[in-house]
Amino acid sequence: MQDSKLVFKLKVIRPFINMVTIPSQTMFTVYVTTSTGDALSTPVYTISYSGKVEVPQNCEVNAGQVVEFDFGDIGASLFSQAGAIVKY
């Protein structure tokens, strides 16, 4: 058996904020027997994984980059004064 070319891929399927902890999990356990009647009782080794995935929580806008936000149609009458929260 050759296990030197194992590849572990992690696919993020849901968005998350800050960090996600990956709890310890056993991927597989390898046993060795000397005959077909031997019980698989003593593991030779176990491949396990655990960890965390962290994402930066900052946003950087490069110099010269234009960022556009479309707020839709917000009529002036929805604002009572400059800086006030919009009334819906």
Average pLDDT, whole number, for the chain? 71
Predicted confidence (pLDDT) per residue in 51-78, tens digit: 888 877 765 555 565 656 565 655 556 5
Residue 11 has pLDDT above 70, yes or no: yes
Q: Which residues contact 21 (CB under 8 A, 6 or more apart)?
A: 51, 52
Q: Provide the whole-model pTM.
A: 0.50
Q: Percent of the chain scored above 70 by pLDDT? A: 56
Q: Which residues contact 50 (CB under 8 A, 6 or more apart)?
A: 22, 23, 24, 25
Quickly state the pLDDT bin for 23 (edges 50, 70, 90). very high
Q: Which residues contact 25 (CB under 8 A, 6 or more apart)?
A: 48, 49, 50
